């Protein structure tokens, strides 16, 4: 069963998710949440679904302000609010706990949720996701100025090689199309929020298995940031993918999904 669903968060914002469940109806299947990067949507993770939907209930939310989810511009945007969107979605799907994969900004939101509600996580997988954005990183690329001037699509086009590598023209067009719904107005709030905290030391509180998969090198994140996270995570499997782009979850989805499958197989009763 595949469906596109809408729901209303506790602050009144209408959010969207895609739900894929091909598990045996008479069995209780675990929930796997796949969280896309910033300036994207749940469409970025479509190729992951065949790898998991036979054995997991797979949910792909459109993050607030992305895809078909409303931005809630009249509501406060905080780390806790974005984290609560994930927890409330799990409640909606009757999942006391879940396996969660977050890519880039999706991983940052997942980490914020795990810091607040660790019991809701069976495991956490992080793909090219740092523990917050160091305040100097957006300034280096003039992200917000360029987005405000030329729009999200043009900014992604100009930085496509760093994000998705040298892909075919059709693949690139799909990647750009999957960012529809993200506006400069929302990003002017979202990016500073992501850069407002840097918290690798706090990851030592995680008491569940963590997978880190990172490009080697990552065109957008210094290796030292990942190594600092790895140092503080007590139960971490660390995987590097040579030559991958920052948005490797869309560039090489099958390879990325394979790493998550192998990680989950090694977790008892996953």
**Across 60-82, average pLDDT:** 97
pLDDT band at residue 219, thresholds of 50, 70 and 90? very high
For residue range 131-183, list pLDDT tens digits in order: 998 766 656 667 778 888 888 999 999 999 999 999 999 999 999 999 999 99
Count how many Cα atoms sit within 13 Å of the Cα of residue 142 in the half-sphere of its side chain: 8
How would you label 124-162 residue by residue, b for 16+ Cβ within 10 Å and e otherwise? bbbbbbbbbbeeebbeeeebbebbeeeebeebbeebbee
**Across 46-70, average pLDDT:** 98
**Across 46-50, average pLDDT:** 98
Cα(67)–Cα(34) distance, integer angstroms: 14
What percent of the chain clears pLDDT 70, i.e. is strictly above it?
97
Residue ranges and CATH numbers for the domains of the chain are 2-265 (3.40.50.1820)
| The pLDDT of residue 193 | 94
| The pLDDT of residue 201 | 96
Q: Does pLDDT of 19 surpass 90? A: yes
State the DSSP code for 64. Answer: T
User: What pTM did the predictor assign?
Assistant: 0.96
Comparing 20 with 149, the larger pLDDT belongs to: 20
C-beta pairs of 116-119 under 8 Å, 24+ apart in sequence: 116/80, 116/83, 117/83, 117/87, 118/205, 118/206, 118/207, 118/208
pLDDT band at residue 122, thresholds of 50, 70 and 90? very high
Q: Does pLDDT of 233 surpass 60? A: yes
217: preceding bond cis by omega (within 30 degrees): yes
| The pLDDT of residue 139 | 61
What the block records as the tokens of 191 is: 């990016």
The helix, strand and coil proportions of the chain, stated in percent and rounded to the nearest 5, come to 45, 20, 35
How many residues are there in the chain? 270
What the block records as the tokens of 153 is: 């699509």
Q: Is 40 exposed, middle or buried (0-12, 13-18, 19+ CB in 10 A)?
A: buried
Cα(219)–Cα(165) distance, integer angstroms: 10
Chain-wide mean pLDDT for the chain?
A: 95
Q: Does pLDDT of 42 surpass 80? A: yes
pLDDT band at residue 196, thresholds of 50, 70 and 90? very high
| The pLDDT of residue 148 | 82
């Amino acid at each position: 069963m595949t469906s596109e669903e809408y729901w209303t968060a506790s602050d009144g914002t209408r959010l969207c998710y895609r739900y894929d469940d091909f598990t045996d109806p008479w069995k209780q299947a675990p929930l796997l949440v796949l969280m896309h990067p910033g300036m994207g949507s749940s469409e970025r993770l479509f190729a992951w679904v065949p790898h998991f939907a036979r054995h997991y209930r797979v949910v792909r939310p459109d993050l607030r302000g992305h895809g078909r989810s409303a931005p809630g511009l009249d509501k406060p945007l905080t780390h806790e609010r974005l984290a609560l969107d994930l927890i409330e979605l799990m409640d909606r799907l009757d999942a006391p706990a879940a396996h969660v994969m977050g890519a880039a900004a999706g991983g940052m939101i997942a980490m914020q949720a795990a810091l607040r509600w660790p019991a809701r996580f069976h495991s956490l997988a992080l793909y090219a996701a740092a523990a917050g954005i160091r305040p100097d990183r957006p300034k280096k690329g003039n992200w917000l100025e360029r987005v405000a001037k030329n729009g999200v699509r043009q900014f992604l086009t100009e930085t496509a090689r760093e994000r998705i590598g040298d892909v075919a023209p059709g693949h690139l067009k799909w990647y750009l199309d999957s960012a529809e719904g993200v506006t400069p107005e929302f990003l002017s709030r979202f990016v500073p929020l992501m850069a407002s905290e840097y918290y690798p030391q706090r990851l030592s509180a995680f008491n569940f298995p963590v997978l880190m998969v990172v490009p080697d090198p990552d065109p957008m994140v210094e290796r030292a940031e990942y190594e600092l996270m790895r140092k503080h995570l007590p139960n971490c499997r660390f995987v590097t993918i040579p030559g991958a782009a920052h948005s490797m979850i869309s560039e090489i989805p099958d390879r990325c999904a394979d790493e998550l499958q192998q990680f989950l197989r090694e977790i008892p009763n996953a």
